[in-house]
Amino acid sequence: MSAFIWLASYPKSGNTWVRAFLSSVKQDGRPIDINRLDVVTQPSSRYFLDDLLGMATADLTPEEIILARPAAMTAYSTTVNRITLHKAHDAWLLNSNGQPLFPPELTQASIYIVRDPRDVAISFAHHIGKSIDYAIDKMASADACLGSSLVRFTPTTRQPLRTWSQHVESWLDQATPSPLLVRYEDMMANPVQQGALIARHVGLEKTMDIYEQAAQNTRFSELNKQETQSGFKEVLAPDRRFFRSGKAGGWKDTLTLTQIAKIEHAHGPVMQRLGYL
């Protein structure tokens, strides 16, 4: 039976960067292809669930899919005999049957990546092709989710996000076992040290030389260069960039005073908890 490692975050918080780093570490620090990252599909993936459930998720309601996900992950755990790493953007929640979407008994470890919500708002807005004000409102909505379009097919099923603050608190205060907390800003400041902590947390014991090489080969400029040359399959629209800026603190030059105040009012306590205020 397989065990899972969850690489969780609110969208646009550095999840893909960490996936790239870990992919390089698994290859002893060698360069990676951003379109072939060594991470198993999201548990919300429509194709992943269709295969495990033996039925089309398009024929199920969002609530029925959420109810089926724990059983699907249990079924998947019996098909592989190794630890698998899964990206996730869902909040850590129980479905209406009281079952965790991320079953503790199947969880080997979790990593939770957090980023200053003022920077998340800018990056998230660009990612979904909406205004920054729209992104700020979505981040403050308890009903926020991904993959819920009623007018077009989405490759992932509905992923409940809740508010940015609730998302953070769900993983830090409810997830079992407790995740390793990683701040995007700390990764930016010291990618080798933070990357080594992450790699060791998921069982990738390597030399510091390998961690250093992996950090070098997955620096933002390299990921951006690959996307420019070959594109990135996870971008939502051809006219947008996934690896766009990657800055920490870019909000200071972009957000209005009103937008800053709105974010800090909505998420002040959690921002203080994480050292952002």
Q: What is the pLDDT along the chain (277 residues), one digit of tens a residue?
A: 678 999 999 999 988 889 889 989 998 998 877 677 766 678 898 988 999 889 899 899 999 999 999 999 999 998 888 888 899 999 999 999 999 999 999 999 999 999 999 999 998 998 888 999 999 999 999 999 988 665 456 788 999 999 999 999 999 999 999 999 999 999 999 999 999 999 999 999 999 999 999 998 888 777 777 666 665 545 544 554 445 556 788 899 999 999 999 999 999 999 999 999 9
| SS3 state at 195 | helix
**Cα distance between residue 145 and residue 153, in whole Å:** 15
* Rounded CA separation 69/52 (Å): 10
Which residues lie across from 5 on neighbouring strands?
85, 109
- Whole-number pLDDT of residue 82: 83
Q: Which pLDDT does position 233 carry in this prediction?
A: 46
What are 230's two structure tokens? Answer: 């070959």
| Tokens at 64, concatenated | 């029925």
Identify the CA nearest to 123 among candidates 1, 245, 3.
Answer: 245
Cβ-Cβ contacts under 8 Å for 22 (sequence gap 6 or more): 7, 38, 39, 85, 198, 199, 202, 204
Q: Which CATH architecture has domain 4-274?
A: 3-Layer(aba) Sandwich (3.40)
Main-chain phi, psi angles of 160, to 5 degrees:
-65, 130
The helix/strand/coil state of 164 is helix
Are 146 and 159 in contact by the 8 Å Cβ rule? The answer is yes
